[in-house]
Amino acid sequence: VGKDSGKLLSDMAPLLEQLRTLTGDPFYSYRLGLVYLQLHDNAKARSAFLDAAKRAPVNAHYRDAARRLAEKFDDCVQNEETW
């Protein structure tokens, strides 16, 4: 992540946290997971993806992606790999 884009992503994370809290919309958890992934904060990314996967409506377009990304973190931990 470049210097400017890293700053932008760092600024986005608290805003997405607020949106998730205010609306309860799990899509913001998914978006937050993507931001944390780019910031290399794997623990927060995994947590956000798990939240999105658990709370998203069954037909949500991002639900399967959130589940797969959360599982990818679990696989990496089991195999002692990194992204």
61 neighbors 76 (Cβ within 8 angstroms) = no
Per-residue pLDDT tens over the stretch 12-64: 999 999 999 999 999 999 999 999 999 999 999 999 999 999 999 999 999 99
Q: Which of 28, 35, 72, 73 is nearest to 51 (CA)?
A: 28
State the DSSP H helix or E strand holding residue 1, giving kind and residue range, or none if neither.
none
Dihedral through CA 32, CA 20, CA 24, CA 60, nearest 10?
A: -30
| pLDDT at 73 (0 to 100) | 81
The CA R_g of the chain, rounded to the nearest whole Å, is: 13
What lies within 8 Å, CB to CB, of 70 at 6+ separation is 46, 49, 50, 53
| pLDDT at 31 (0 to 100) | 98
**pTM confidence score:** 0.85
